[in-house]
């Protein structure tokens, strides 16, 4: 019996995986080519393949929120509404019948779908080996309220790969798969799926940054009139759902960590989910910057005056007429282009009186008025600063710690309490630290200079920081609000660059 080489074996395994993904669409083709034509309604007026894919979408996206399953009645109602919108004027009104046909075909009466993979026979073999492949897309079960429908792993694979879903929906589906795998006790698989969900979020963030870079280079390369605003709206709506799902996965992993055998895996899952949540929070910042980037690019690229060269199409106005013209006409075209594109050359002509007037003109001197100097008494009293010198110096030192490395507001308050003996007003020092963090978060470095502290050292320490809310709340007896993370803009940009490098490595 002949054996395959190493490269042939790897190719055969890859081909077998793609063949399995292709077979997952077999029930869809069976619905379109066999079940539909045999039904007692006009199947040509409805897109049965789209209904089958919408059925899988509905079950995959809703089963986790409904405790792992959906009811057949809700599936039939959803498909009936979709089919009605495909042909609302159908007098037969077969929408419920169509929904039941789609559901029955994909369920396959509870039996698995079957396909056969044929291994290639060797040179000295007389027959090939047949390997059966059985799978289910939907599975019937019993729940507290009756019969339920759940999506199997092949159905989720079909949703993620064969349907070519966008990255945001793919990340959400992967998180649903993480939840299903953790509930089933498959924590190693859940960790691998969580990492894939994080890479998907990083890919979405990289895609947005790439589109913004394209906009800065050439605004016409991105569809800002239709596709891009709709895409940004969808992504912004997905961010809240993604972060909420991350919190649910963290809670589930922390509850599952009570099992001694799953403690390490659950700890890794929590860390990976937190890393993905950080990606979504940074993606929210990039989405917020998208419109200002578009407006700035539009101001530079479209609203600036253009020269004559920008109004000439080299292909239509120059090259094509030149290629189709004969030599004499080509010379005429060249003369026309030169005459229109370059000013005519003329010799200067001077009259005697103009020349004499130009040579004998008197030199002109510009009279400059003395500058108006403000009297010190007219400027009013200088605005004072109510912050004591010792409090301001101590607050400056504490805020400078956040400029060296990222620190949370709770940590800065803890340092301020430790240095209470260095100032006469310890509570005033705490108020200054807390107010400075809120000022950085609300103003974002764009407030007027009059709103900043009067002391130069404290104002410099405050203006050098940026604050980000990651959803953590302060656990403090004196203050309420978010536990902000303070650092310099360069620190956050470096973390963004590290995230981009990890995306490239993946």
Half-sphere exposure of 332 (CA within 13 A, CB side): 6
Going from N- to C-terminal start, the domains of the chain cover: 1-164, 166-300, 389-505
Q: How many CB atoms lie within 10 A of CB 364?
A: 5
How much is the mean pLDDT over the chain? 76
pLDDT score recorded for residue 163: 46
Helix (H, G, I), strand (E, B) or coil at 165: coil
Q: Is the pLDDT of residue 453 over 70?
A: no
Region of poorest pLDDT, from 172-186, 327-341, 388-402: 327-341
Determine the pLDDT at residue 384: 46
Q: Which carries the bigger pLDDT value, residue 158 or residue 185?
A: 185
* pLDDT value at residue 310: 53
Determine if residue 265 is left, alpha or beta; phi over 0 gives left, psi from -120 to 50 gives alpha, anything else beta.
alpha
At residue 381, the pLDDT reads 44
Mean pLDDT of all residues in 394-411: 87
- Asked if residue 252 has pLDDT above 50, the reply is yes
What pLDDT sits at residue 176? 76
The pLDDT value given to residue 379: 45
Q: What is the pLDDT of residue 380?
A: 43
Q: What's residue 9's pLDDT?
A: 53
Instruction: For residues 376-393, give the mean pLDDT.
Output: 63
CA dist 313 to 72, 309, 318, 337, Å?
61, 8, 7, 13
Q: In a 3-state reduction of DSSP, which class is residue 482?
A: strand
Pick the more confident residue, 504 or 406: 406
pLDDT average, residue stretch 141-165: 69
pLDDT of residue 286: 82
What local confidence, expressed as pLDDT, does residue 81 receive?
92
State what percent of residues in the chain have pLDDT above 70. 72
pLDDT band at 80 (very low <50, low <70, confident <90, very high): very high
In tens, the pLDDT along 101-137 reads 999 998 888 788 888 888 777 666 667 678 888 888 8
- The CA distance from 494 to 492, in Å, is 5
More confident residue, 349 or 223: 223
pLDDT in tens, 413-429: 898 889 888 888 888 88
pLDDT of 71 higher than 60: yes
Let me know: does 269 contact 249? Beta carbons within 8 Å.
yes
Close Cβ partners of 8 (under 8 Å, ≥ 6 residues apart) = none
pTM of the model: 0.38
DSSP 358-420: HHSPPPP----PPPP---GGGG-PPP---S-HHHHHHHHHHHHHHHHS-EEHHHHHHHHHHTG
């Amino acid at each position: 019996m002949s054996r395959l080489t190493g490269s042939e074996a790897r190719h055969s395994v890859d081909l077998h995986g793609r063949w399995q993904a292709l077979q997952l669409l077999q029930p869809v083709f069976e619905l379109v080519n066999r079940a539909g034509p045999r039904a007692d309604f006009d199947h040509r007026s409805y897109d049965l393949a789209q209904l089958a894919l919408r059925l899988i979408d509905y079950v995959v996206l809703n089963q986790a929120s409904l405790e792992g399953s959906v009811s057949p009645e809700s599936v039939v109602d959803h498909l009936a509404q979709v089919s009605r919108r495909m042909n609302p004027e159908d007098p037969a009104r077969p929408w419920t019948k169509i929904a039941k046909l789609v559901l029955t075909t994909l369920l396959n009466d509870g039996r698995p779908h079957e396909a056969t993979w044929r291994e290639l026979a060797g040179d000295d073999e007389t027959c090939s080996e047949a390997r059966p492949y059985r799978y289910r897309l939907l599975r019937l079960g019993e729940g507290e309220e009756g019969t339920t429908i759940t999506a199997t792993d092949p159905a989720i694979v079909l949703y993620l790969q064969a349907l070519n879903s966008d990255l945001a929906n793919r990340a959400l589906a992967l998180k649903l798969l993480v939840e299903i795998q953790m509930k089933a006790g498959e924590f190693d698989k859940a960790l691998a799926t969580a990492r894939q969900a994080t890479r998907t979020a990083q890919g979405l963030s990289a895609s947005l940054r790439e589109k913004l870079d394209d906009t800065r280079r050439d605004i016409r390369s991105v569809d800002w009139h239709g596709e891009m605003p709709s895409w940004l709206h969808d992504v912004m709506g997905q961010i809240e759902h993604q972060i909420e799902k991350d919190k649910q996965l963290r809670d589930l992993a922390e509850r599952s960590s009570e099992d001694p055998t799953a403690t390490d895996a659950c700890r890794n899952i929590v860390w990976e989910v937190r890393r993905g949540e950080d990606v979504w929070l940074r993606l929210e910042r990039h989405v917020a910057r998208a419109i200002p980037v578009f407006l700035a690019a539009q101001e530079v690229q479209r609203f600036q005056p253009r020269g004559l060269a920008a109004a000439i199409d080299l292909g239509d106005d120059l090259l094509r007429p030149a290629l189709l013209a004969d030599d004499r006409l080509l010379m005429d075209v060249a003369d026309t282009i030169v005459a229109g594109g370059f000013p005519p050359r003329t010799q200067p002509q001077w009259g005697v009186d103009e020349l004499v007037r130009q040579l004998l003109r008197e030199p002109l001197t510009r009279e400059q008025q003395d500058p108006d100097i403000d009297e010190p008494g007219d400027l009013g009293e200088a605005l004072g600063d109510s912050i004591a010198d010792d409090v301001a110096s101590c607050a400056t030192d504490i805020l400078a710690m956040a400029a060296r490395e990222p620190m949370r507001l709770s940590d800065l308050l803890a340092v301020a309490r430790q240095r209470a003996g260095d100032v006469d007003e310890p509570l005033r020092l705490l108020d200054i630290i807390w107010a400075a963090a809120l000022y950085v978060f609300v103003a974002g470095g764009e407030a007027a200079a009059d709103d900043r502290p009067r002391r130069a050292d404290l104002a410099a320490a405050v203006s050098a920081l940026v604050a980000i809310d990651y959803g953590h709340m302060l656990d403090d007896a004196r203050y309420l609000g978010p536990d902000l993370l303070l650092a310099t803009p360069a620190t956050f940009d470096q973390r963004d660059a590290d995230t981009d490098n990890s995306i490239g490595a993946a």
